[in-house]
Structures are given as C-alpha cells and as structure tokens.
Amino acid sequence: MTVSSGNLLVTNASGGGLLDIRGGTLDLNGGLVYAGAVAVSNGSFLIGSGTIIGSVTNAGTMGPGNSPGTLNVQGDLTLLSSAVLDMELRGTATTEFDRLLVSGAFTADGILDVMLIDGFLPQPGDQFDLFNYASVGGSFNLINLPFGAGSWNTSHLLANPSDPLSGTIIYIPEPSTWTLLGLGLAALAMRRRSRVTP
C-alpha cells in the first residue's frame, strides 16, 4: 500500500505488508495500531501516539505523541540521514513528554529536535527518558536542544540498554547561568544588608 498524498488516519489496520508513505502523513491518532512494516520517505510524516507492529524506516519526519505522547514500534526503527525526529517536553512525568519505544534495534541518524511546549521550563536535574530500545547504533548528525547543547547532559541518550539511564537527556544549566544567578543573589543580599545597616 502506498500513500502518495494527503493523510492516512489509522484506526486499527492490519496491513501485513509494507506501508510506503510518499508525500503524505501516517497519523496514529491517539493510541491506535497499524500492523505491518512502514517506510516514510523524505518529505513525509509519521505522527501520533500508537503502535506499529512491524519495523519502521524513516527518511522523513517523525513526531511521536499527540503533544505529548508515546510511539511504540514493535520491531526495528531505522532513521536515515534525511530523517527529522521531533520530541516535545511539557513536564517531567512520563505522560508529559514524547517517548519512542522500540522493541528491536534503534539506528539513529539525521536530526533530533527537542522542543519545550505549553510554557514548560525544566529545572536543574530534570530527566527525560525519550527512548527505550533493545539495542542501539548510529548517531544523530545534529541535536537541537532548548537553551543550547551545553545546558544538557546527552551522554546517555544513545547508551547501551545496560545503562539504567539509556535514552535519557538531563537538564544541567551551563556554568555561566549558575554564575549569573549567584551574582544576582549576592547583589540582592548586599542591597538588603545596606538597607538594614544604620
């Protein structure tokens, strides 16, 4: 089956073969299921919360969740060099950020875009378990993170599943941010002291 244009809304489809998305969108729309392998071409989209029972090859744009939510791939997931993976953060609970669960091998490539939504601002030490997988390979060509890469620990993002933090990013503000905050607090304390001193 090929989708050459428009939007394919999956409710509960048992395709069994390869679903080839070319110039269109596969929308899993809130926890629904597609049974069969999926190929997403450059310029096409795979979005929504739900389950694909089969392997996925993505050269287009993937957006797990419904702002936010979880995309479950029961098979392998291969991101090609043209792939874009959009992940949204609205809070620290697992229901408040996008998640990608892969029962097989996750091969990373392309661009990872992580975005804050609904006014959410992470606090130091906040963790976001974006990916779960059975095995992992490859790497992203580019990772776009809120406030810049220096504000995040991404060392566990594509770590071996034996790492208890594998698939996780952790918000750690840059030292300059802490320095400015410390200077601001010190100035405030001095101002209060000067008001009290006779």
pLDDT in tens, 88-106: 999 999 999 999 999 999 9
Length of the chain: 198
Could you count the other beta carbons within 10 Å of the beta carbon of residue 105?
16
DSSP 49-69: SEEEES-EEESSEEEEBSSS-
Q: Using only C-alpha atoms, what is the Rg of the chain?
A: 20
Q: Are 130 and 156 in contact (CB under 8 A)?
A: no
Angstrom distances, CA of residue 2 to CA of 15, 36, 42, 99, 126: 11, 13, 14, 27, 41
- 198: β partners: none
**Of 187, 149, 189, whose CA–CA distance to 169 is shortest?**
149
pLDDT in tens, 151-190: 999 999 999 999 999 999 999 986 654 454 455 555 545 5
Residue 15 and residue 37: Cα distance in Å, rounded? 8
Residue 182's SS3 state is helix
| Confidence class for position 36, pLDDT limits 50, 70, 90 | confident
Token match 């959410």: residue? 120
- 35: β partners: 14, 53
The whole-number pLDDT of residue 11 equals 46
